[in-house]
Amino acid sequence: MRTLLRADELARAQRYHQLADQQRFVVARAALRSILGQYLACAPAAIQFVVGPNKKPAIQNEPGLHYNVSHSKDWILIAVSAAPVGVDVEAIDPLFPFQDILPHSFSLPERQAIMSSPDGAHLFYQLWTRKEAFVKATARGIDDEFSTIPALDGPHRLAAASGQLVPSWLVSSFTVADGYVGAVAYQPSAHAVVPSFYNLTISEIDN
Which residues fall within 8 angstroms of residue 62, CB to CB, at 6 or more apart? 40
Percent of the chain with pLDDT over 70: 91
φ/ψ of 117, rounded to 5, equals -75, 145
**What is the reported pLDDT for 202?**
79
SS3 of residue 130 by DSSP: helix
**For position 164, what pLDDT does the model report?**
59
Q: Using CA atoms, how far apart are residues 200 and 126, in angstroms rounded to an integer?
A: 23
- CA 5 from chain center: how many Å? 21
* Distance of alpha carbon 35 from alpha carbon 41, whole angstroms: 10
Q: Which pLDDT belongs to residue 121?
A: 96
Query: CA 63 → CA 54, 66, 82, 127, 151, distances in Å?
Result: 15, 7, 9, 30, 28
At 165 the pLDDT is: 61
SS3 131: helix
More confident call, 57 vs 124 = 124
159 and 60 in contact (C-beta within 8 Å)?
no
Which of the four pLDDT bands, split at 50, 70 and 90, describes residue 60? very high
Contact between 80 and 37 under an 8 Å Cβ cutoff? The reply is no
Express each pLDDT in 187-203 by its tens digit. 877 556 678 888 888 77
Tens-digit pLDDT profile for residues 115-132: 999 999 999 999 999 999
In tens, the pLDDT along 140-183 reads 766 658 898 999 999 888 766 555 566 788 999 999 999 999 99
pLDDT of residue 162: 55
pLDDT at residue 2, rounded to an integer: 85
Query: Which pLDDT score is estimated for 56?
Result: 85
Write 114-122 long-range contacts (CB < 8 A, 24+): 121/92, 121/93, 121/94, 121/96, 122/92, 122/181
pLDDT of 52 reads 81
- Residues forming beta bridges with residue 172, ordered by sequence position: 184
Q: What is the pLDDT of residue 142?
A: 63
Name the least confident of 37-46, 52-61, 115-124, 152-161: 152-161
Q: Which of 132, 118, 113 is nearest to 173 (CA)?
A: 132
- Conformation bin of residue 61: beta by default, left when phi > 0, alpha when psi is -120 to 50: left
Q: Do 5 and 45 contact (CB within 8 A), yes or no?
A: yes
Q: What are phi and psi of 61, to 5 degrees?
A: 60, 20
